[in-house]
A and B are shown apart, each in its own frame.
Chain A
């Protein structure tokens, strides 16, 4: 063990690559040794060059709170996060199970309502949710597949248990970084990578294209973007390019004669399926928000009559609502007759009186989240708050009990991260991506590891100063 690791200590918690200070986990040994042999100044230089390349390539995201110069690169840490292949097999099973149950649930709540009738989930949790979409009640999309692409966020607590932190069943983003990070990390560790038998991620665009295309083969598939000012615009262009399909904006499409047509320099061409990266609300001003300039007027009627497939389906938000999340293990039991392989983080719904009393009494130990927001916006971490912040949060909960859930603070696991020339522990989460179009779900090996670059920080979102790492799933010990 080289001296660069002597000072590496993550305190009382769980580290992804070390089992004890100075002792790497079996699946990470080869990486740690390789890193010991490398000059950190050299690694810093590689990182600087990788980041410059990312800026010039425009691999950027947009931060809404900054007025000008809004494009930033998503900082990339060269030290990969490694997952043991055996553990991954179990995670993969857990993710497939969860995605199947979520899809059953969406189909059920818009149609037969069996789960409500059985008393497993209270009707008001589902039907009072702002994410419940009345317009698709009674509708069944092709193959009864709704959430074709989901991102299920996983976190690991201090005792090593993996939990599902939240489900993203609308338009989860970040997969382009998984593919880009892989290119950067194989450049940095070519020989190590070759020896480690890392599972491939490069199949994703093909699997995605097949899943989207086969839903409606009456025309080509396209990717629909809100445009260049969207924070994930880079990802939209990247996926369209990798899938080999057109990237369109709302104004490129029009509805005529029961079809969705694409405006080209040679006239109008019918489209089969649309991988849309526009929220439900903005998709069709005739059915949803009238003021939307991003959508395609009339697309919803074509969708309902089967003239075009939409990916993800409309209305999937009902499954990733934070008020529905506590019921997912029950859903898995109800639809699949199985126990959840990956547990939920215990969650208190402040809408329930007893839970609310508990939450208000224990605010300083809990994390409070708005039920209808993502990207880490509005999250309050009790242990890091002063009295006044706690009082403000308590007042907000009393005023709008439906608007929040609370969870115990998960002591997110750490992973070595290179900061100012030193390897230091930083907290990470994991967003695996799952593709589903009615058959067996397909799980991208690994996923996006996000890392909180600030010391002690628990928030890994890119909009809150997080970075990312490549995620290696390795077969056996490396």
Chain B
């Protein structure tokens, strides 16, 4: 049975929103525990941890509108429960649940219950408790819930076209997030390279690895310890680490290929061309050349390409609410 465009779109965004909530929880948790590091003090020219977090998530313009400060309390509230922030954890999960509701008939009961419980659990959370030492528990609940969701998706859904769209959404978001996490190092240091190789530098890279659950895997495979080149290589180019940019983009391409199998060549090629371009660069890039030509520029470029993939997918396959494209599709079918 052919899949409704709207259903495909909702599944894509369901994957993205749950992943976004999980990543926000991971980043918050790492930032929160970073406070206890004595080395995280008094770096000239650098942003504080909380400011850097807002910049990493791309929310700085909206956040610094004059009503908030870069304090822990304000940032935590903004990123966890704030309804004003459309990408706070609760907002993301509310969007995820709404997307899931709109495709209720399509999801297995297990997936639906996982999303629904995750939403109810986070929406019920009390901001005062979160601020009073409850942040770890809150973030942990979100992470666990997201894992349960991912497990239900892999273990109970029919591995059909809809499943591939959901995976594609999840992978786009995960890929985008890893570029932001690595890039946050740039914002923390504000290009002041004096600290490279210092304890602060090592601590920060370690924290980034933890935020993608990569620390343990990294130290096991890198006896040389935590240093810039190795970490960047691991988080951006390593094909075996499931949250590296390369692994995410390869999984994204695979999901898109499966989801669009048998579709008209023109819309399909538009999607796959952009996604494959990025994969190829990641496959044949070396960490040395990448750092030499500018890590920040590279990551910026990757984010733009990921956005272009989403645009191409929307234009070619998620067209249920846009009349202009119907004619083209009718002819194509």
Contact = CB atoms under 8 A, between A and B. Distances in A.
B128 interface: no
B38 to A, nearest CB: 44
B43 to A, nearest CB: 44
Contacts of B326: 254, 256, 263, 268
Contacts of B262: 266
A237 B6 contact: no
A192 to B, nearest CB: 27
Nearest to B3: A265
Nearest to A222: B4
Given A56-B113, A56-B116, A58-B112, A247 B320 contact: no
Contact of B329 (A234, A240, A249, A263): A263
Which of B104, B106, B112 is packed against the most chain A CB atoms within 10 Å?
Answer: B104
A246 B98 contact: no
B2 interface: yes
Interface string B90-118: 00000000100110111001001100110
Interface string A232-267: 011001101100001111011010100001111111
A240 B105 contact: yes
B263 A266 contact: yes
B161 interface: yes
A21 B323 CA distance: 66
A459 B1 CA distance: 44
B321 interface: yes
A118 interface: no
- Chain A interface, DSSP helix/strand/loop, else mixed: mixed
B319 interface: yes
A225 to B, nearest CB: 9
A264 B4 contact: yes
B105 A269 contact: no
Q: Which of B2, B117, B262, B321 is the most central at the interface, judged by chain A CB atoms within 10 Å of its CB?
A: B2
Given A246-B1, A246-B4, A57 B109 contact: yes
Contacts of A120: none
A135 interface: no
Interface in A197-252: 220, 227-228, 233-234, 237-238, 240-241, 246-249, 251-252
A227 B5 contact: no
Contacts of A254: 323, 326
A264 B102 contact: no
Contacts, number: 88
B104 A58 contact: yes
A143 B159 CA distance: 41
Contact of B113 (A57, A241, A251, A266): A57
B109 A263 contact: no
Interface residues of B, number: 35
A266 B333 contact: yes
A56 B2 CA distance: 29
Nearest to A247: B105
A257 to B, nearest CB: 9
Interface string A263-292: 111111100000000000000000000000
B113 A264 contact: no
B330 interface: yes
A267 B105 CA distance: 21
Interface string B1-31: 1111110100000000000000000000000
A240 B107 CA distance: 12
A228 B101 contact: yes
B311 interface: no
Contacts of A267: 2, 264, 329-330, 332-333
Interface in B248-272: 259-260, 262-264
Nearest to A262: B4
Contacts of B260: 265
Interface in B198-224: none
Contacts of A56: 113, 116-117, 120
Given A58-B101, A237-B104, A268-B330, A263 B263 contact: no
Contacts of A249: 6, 102
A132 to B, nearest CB: 33
Contacts of A263: 4-6, 319-320, 326, 329
Nearest to A244: B1
Contacts of A252: 4-6, 320
A248 B112 CA distance: 18
Nearest to A55: B120
Contacts of A55: 120
Contacts of A247: 104-106
Contacts of B109: 57
A233 B97 CA distance: 14
Nearest to B165: A265
Contacts of A228: 98, 101-102
B317 interface: yes
B153 to A, nearest CB: 17
Nearest to B117: A56
A234 B104 CA distance: 8
Given A252-B320, A256-B330, A264 B2 contact: yes
A237 B3 contact: no
Nearest to B316: A265
Nearest to A264: B2
Contact of B2 (A58, A234, A241, A269): A269
Nearest to B161: A265
A56 B112 CA distance: 8
Interface string A377-413: 0000000000000000000000000000000000000
Nearest to A297: B323
Given A56-B116, A237-B105, A264 B5 contact: yes
Which 7 pairs show the lowest CB-CB distances between chains A and B?
A267-B333, A237-B104, A264-B2, A241-B105, A237-B105, A240-B105, A247-B105
19 contacts: A58-B104, A233-B104, A237-B105, A241-B105, A249-B6, A251-B6, A252-B4, A252-B5, A254-B323, A262-B2, A263-B4, A265-B4, A266-B262, A266-B264, A266-B333, A267-B329, A267-B330, A267-B333, A268-B333
